[in-house]
Amino acid sequence: MTDSRELGITKYQLFCALVGSLGSVGYGWDIGATNVPGDVISRCITSPLHWIGPFPSCIPMSPTVWGVIVSCMPLGAMLGALFCTPFSNRYGRKTVLAYCRVFSIIGALFLSLAVNISMLVVDAYATFTAYIVEAATPKARNVLGFLLQMGIALGIAVSQAVSLGMSNPPYWRILFSITGVLALVNIQLLMFCVESPKWLIMKDRLELARESLEKLRQGADCTAEFDQMVADVRKEMGDGAFVANIYDVVAGRTPENLRHQLLVIVTVNFLQQSCGVGSLSFYSTSIFSSVTTGNPANIPTLAQILTSVLSLVAALATLAGVILSAYYGRRPLMLVSHGGMAIACIFIVVGTVGHINILAITMVFVHYVAFVVGSGPIPWLTCSELTPTYAAAAFGSIGSTVNYFFMVVIGLVFPPMQSAIGGYSFVVFGICNVFGVVFCWFLLPETKDRNTADVVRVHSVGIHNVLRQKYTVSKVL
């Protein structure tokens, strides 16, 4: 019988990963649903404000206020990530996933029923999701870890395609409600998934952990992998069954020196949003409108069509990233990703400032493709691949909080920044991407096909230059 550590992806493992990533599809749907119909909702471009039953056809507001509303969704996600740590450690990964979907249903319900600005703010704030995956083998992680970004890209692509025919009032309200339907389906499917074996071992529920692992590794001998998993968890947690919270990690109150892991996880999540993709995710329609012509009331406009095509290309590029991840490591993909986005930012500025519209449009596509093959999915993998089990949930919350915080910042800052300096906005993003190349070159460890326990042991020595030979971790054979 095959050793389970040599397995790739089993059918049930793929099913659990797809169910776990369904929340990211809903999150991507929320992002896309605010993009294409944004001007219809906030500027009433299709018709003057009128009432359709008890609901207004649009809710007039300034670009800054619309930016606040768009930012409230990642703000809600940030708080969800911050508070999920103690719950996921106490009640389990699967349970937390299910309860987070309840908030998605509540947020979707109220967003679709909003009648004024304050309701939009509160309702967007209530929509958040959480993602925790600990069920994959080292080999399967290369593909399954990308499902989160794939889910977001797919959610954006489908919602923006649907938005082309549903941006007019009152149909934009239906767009906001669909994410609630996705969350409800997700809750039902989670009932057929097992709990994380690592979490069960943390709780000393070894028989359930073995059953969970055997179901995930159907048709293989799990004995060696299970024994290694138990040994790794107990070694990481120590005799006192220590489980780190966010304060423990930030204050350095952990059995191992995890400063390097903290620096990497905070920085790569900061870079994921400061690279410029947030402005494209939320405001690509506005960006394309600035370099195209046409009556904005004639929906779908060229800018909206380009936004939909962009999201489709991003989804296909994410799929290409899954394939690339099977052959190339995390470091080279991150270096190519940030390098490609830095170059694209330069030419976006040249195209918009010099009124070379085709250049600006092309470089927006290049930027997005460069993002989704590296900087898009890899930051979500770093928490599980760099950190010990006892601190994984805390690091996951820290990384997600940083990520969503800067998504909020971009959502708030980009509209007035674009109004003030126009195409030069991407100079800022270009500088961030250059910094990303330098950071990843010197400080991002390679974790592809490495045993997590070995990675933790080698890099738990404080902040260091990973190019030095002694910080190299051998691949799992």
Query: How sure is the predictor about 123, in pLDDT bands with cuts at 50, 70 and 90?
Result: very low
Which residue would you say has higher pLDDT here, 225 or 9?
A: 225
Contact 397, 85 (CB under 8 A): yes
**Percentage, residues of the chain above pLDDT 70:** 87
pLDDT score of 381 more than 90? no
Q: Which residues are paired to 3 by β-bridges?
A: 221
Distance CA 113, CA 173 (A): 7
Distance CA 27, CA 322 (A): 20
- Mean pLDDT computed over 16-29: 82
If one counts the domains in the chain, the total is: 1
pLDDT on residue 236? 65
Which residue would you say has higher pLDDT here, 151 or 188?
A: 188
pLDDT score of 263 more than 60? yes
pLDDT on residue 47? 77
Contact 5, 476 (CB under 8 A): yes
Distance CA 421, CA 435 (A): 22
Q: Which helix (H) or strand (E) holds 38?
A: helix 38-43
Query: At residue 257, what are phi and psi to the nearest 5 degrees?
Result: -80, 100
Question: Which stretch, 215-224, 380-389, 441-450, 466-475, has highest mean pLDDT?
Answer: 441-450
pLDDT on residue 125? 36
pLDDT on residue 311? 86
Residue 69 in any domain: the answer is: yes
- Which 8-state DSSP code applies to residue 374? I
Residue 217 in any domain: the answer is: yes
Residue 304 in any domain: the answer is: yes
Query: How sure is the predictor about 121, in pLDDT bands with cuts at 50, 70 and 90?
Result: very low
Report pLDDT digits (tens) over 59-100: 888 777 777 777 776 666 666 666 666 677 777 778 877 877
- Mean pLDDT computed over 263-289: 86
Cis peptide before 300 (omega within 30 of 0): yes
Report pLDDT digits (tens) over 406-440: 888 887 888 788 878 888 989 999 999 999 999 99
Contact 107, 430 (CB under 8 A): no
Report pLDDT digits (tens) over 129-150: 333 335 555 556 556 656 777 7
pLDDT on residue 435? 97
Q: Which helix (H) or strand (E) holds 50?
A: none
Name which of 384, 402, 403, 400 is nearest 392 in CA terms: 384
pLDDT score of 12 more than 70? yes
- Mean pLDDT computed over 4-11: 76
- Mean pLDDT computed over 346-363: 90
Which residue would you say has higher pLDDT here, 251 or 128?
A: 251
- Which 8-state DSSP code applies to residue 116? S
Q: Which residues are paired to 257 by β-bridges?
A: 461
Q: Is 433 exposed, middle or buried (0-12, 13-18, 19+ CB in 10 A)?
A: buried
pLDDT on residue 117? 47
Tokens standing for 107? Answer: 């947020």
Residue 248 in any domain: the answer is: yes
Domain around 54: 4-471
pLDDT on residue 477? 56
Report pLDDT digits (tens) over 28-68: 887 777 777 877 888 787 778 777 878 888 788 877 777 77
Residue 477 in any domain: the answer is: no
Tokens standing for 385? Answer: 């691949």
pLDDT on residue 444? 95
Distance CA 24, CA 18 (A): 10
Query: How sure is the predictor about 304, in pLDDT bands with cuts at 50, 70 and 90?
Result: confident
Distance CA 143, CA 449 (A): 11
Contact 426, 276 (CB under 8 A): yes
Distance CA 118, CA 467 (A): 51
Report the predicted TM-score, pTM, of the whole model to 2 decimal places. 0.74
CA separation, residue 225 to residues 136, 197, 217, 246, 458 (Å): 12, 11, 10, 29, 21
Residue 476 in any domain: the answer is: no
Name which of 17, 327, 340 is nearest 149 in CA terms: 17
Residue 76 in any domain: the answer is: yes
pLDDT on residue 141? 59
Q: What is the CATH number of the domain that holds 170?
A: 1.20.1250.20
